[in-house]
Amino acid sequence: MDEELREQIALFRFAVITPLVSQRHLGRGEREALIRQVTESEWKIPGSQRSRVARSKVLKWLGLSA
C-alpha cells in the first residue's frame, strides 16, 4: 500500500468518525443513532470495493471495541 492510499484511508476514517467525536456530550442513544446512520450510509471507501462500514469497524476506530 502506498503512502497516498494510506493517507486517503486515514482521511476517510476521520470523516466517518468526526460526527461521533465532535459532539462531546452525546447520550448513549444519541451515539448509537449516529453509529447506525454511519453504518447504514453508502461510502466511497478508498482501496476497497465495499460501500458500507461495519459497526465493529466504527467502534474500533473510536477506540470502543475490545
In this prediction the pTM is 0.84
Domain that residue 45 falls in: 3-62
Q: What is the pLDDT of residue 14?
A: 95
Query: Cα–Cα–Cα angle for 11, 29, 55, nearest 5°?
Result: 40
Grid cell at residue 17: 468518525
Q: Which residues lie below 8 Å from residue 26, measured CB to CB, with a gap of 6+? A: 20, 34
6-48 pLDDT tens trace: 999 999 999 999 999 888 788 889 999 999 999 999 999 999 9
Q: What is the pLDDT of residue 6?
A: 97
Q: How many domains does the chain have?
A: 1
